């Protein structure tokens, strides 16, 4: 019967390096978001790593299926991590986990919970009284509905210097919106009164607005955190959840700096081309037209935006090329520090 093979212990003249805490002994690192919100990093796994390394070392160790020191020079580790992300070998990134305490408006939480790969425990309005804390934008940040995207905004009300009358009307609309929030927030006093008169907490809460703050503990592995950040740092994500995603990014970046650098290079700041887009770009580079083989106006607009990012705008008239049915070509072209291509978001 064979026995498992283990890596031998380091020789006495090669002692293990001392271990250091990736959070430098901190039990909580917090970034405030909006008026009442925050993202707080509470814990990380691994918490202890060899001196001179970061939590990135756990990813390298998993990729090499090694024990103990089992890693090579930091520069080689960086190359391996970049290779893994570039080629979408994601399992090693699941070996790193982070635990957060987060306070956010309920409407942000309802978008956030669509990321179903985390462990979540939320503040319960059945067992506890909901706090009197609400999200409200400033008068100068009430956004307008986008005319081209049903789930997005476009610009701010009252910010049209070329049309003072329209700007004044929009400013009044923004004031009316804030008055609407005042009325919604006033429901908390009625909620508290009903609790005092015996209405159950589980029923009294149902009339409270989505601007009310909730809290939860959220634990997730690094691979799925990167997926969350890819969607919620995208330029098309709602501004409020983008602020939370940025705070999360800023908290974990010092803990896994090599991974976050690679992720920004190969995901956040990258530009992904579809098969028709790759063929259109090839045609442009060969001296032809960059017309896309599509008659979908949204797809054509996205292609025009990608060409602009690449600094390769087609000087020819913008016309759709005949649609083809050739197999897709998967290509990725790095972009110069811009946001990722549009994604459908909740």
Q: Which residues are catalytic?
A: 232
Strands (E), the chain: 19-21, 29-33, 37-45, 48-50, 97-105, 119-122, 143-145, 153-156, 213-221, 270-273, 331-334
- Rounded Cα gap, residues 223 and 226, in angstroms: 5
Nearest Cα neighbor of 90 from 120, 118, 67, 62 is 62
Return the H-helix or E-strand segment holding 306: helix 297-310
Secondary structure percentages of the chain, helix, strand, coil, to 5: 40, 15, 45
Which SS3 state, helix, strand or coil, does residue 260 take?
helix
- Rounded Cα gap, residues 84 and 88, in angstroms: 6
Nearest Cα neighbor of 85 from 340, 328, 264, 231 is 264
């Amino acid at each position: 019967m064979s026995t498992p093979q283990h890596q031998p212990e380091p020789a006495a003249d090669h002692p293990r390096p001392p271990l250091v805490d990736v959070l430098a002994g901190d039990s909580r690192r917090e970034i405030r978001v909006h008026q009442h919100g925050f993202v707080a990093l509470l814990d990380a796994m691994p918490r202890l790593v060899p001196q001179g390394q970061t939590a990135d070392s756990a990813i390298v160790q998993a990729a090499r299926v090694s024990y103990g020191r089992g890693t090579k020079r930091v520069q080689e580790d960086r190359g391996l991590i970049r290779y893994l992300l570039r080629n979408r070998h994601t399992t090693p990134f699941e070996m790193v986990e982070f635990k957060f305490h987060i306070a956010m408006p309920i409407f942000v939480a309802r978008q956030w919970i669509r990321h179903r790969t985390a462990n979540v425990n939320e503040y319960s309005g059945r067992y506890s009284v909901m706090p009197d804390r609400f999200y409200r934008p400033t008068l100068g940040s009430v956004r307008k509905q986008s005319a081209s995207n049903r789930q997005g905004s476009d610009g701010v009300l009252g910010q049209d210097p070329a049309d003072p009358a329209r700007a004044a009307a929009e400013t009044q609309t923004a004031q009316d919106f804030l008055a609407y929030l005042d009325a919604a927030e006033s429901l908390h006093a009625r909620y508290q009164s009903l609790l005092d008169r015996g209405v159950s907490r589980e029923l009294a809460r149902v009339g409270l607005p989505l601007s009310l703050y909730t809290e939860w503990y959220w634990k997730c592995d690094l691979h799925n955190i990167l997926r969350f950040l890819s969607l919620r740092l995208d330029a098309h994500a709602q501004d409020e959840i983008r602020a939370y995603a940025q705070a999360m990014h800023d908290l974990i970046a010092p803990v896994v700096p090599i991974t976050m650098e690679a992720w920004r290079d190969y995901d956040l700041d990258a530009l992904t081309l579809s098969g028709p887009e790759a063929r259109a770009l090839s045609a442009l580079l060969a001296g032809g037209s960059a017309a896309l083989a599509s008659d979908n106006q949204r797809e054509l607009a996205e292609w025009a935006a990608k060409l602009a990012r690449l600094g390769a705008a087609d000087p020819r008239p913008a016309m759709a090329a005949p649609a083809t049915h050739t197999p897709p070509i998967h290509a990725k072209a790095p972009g110069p520090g811009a946001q990722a291509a549009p994604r459908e978001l909740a």
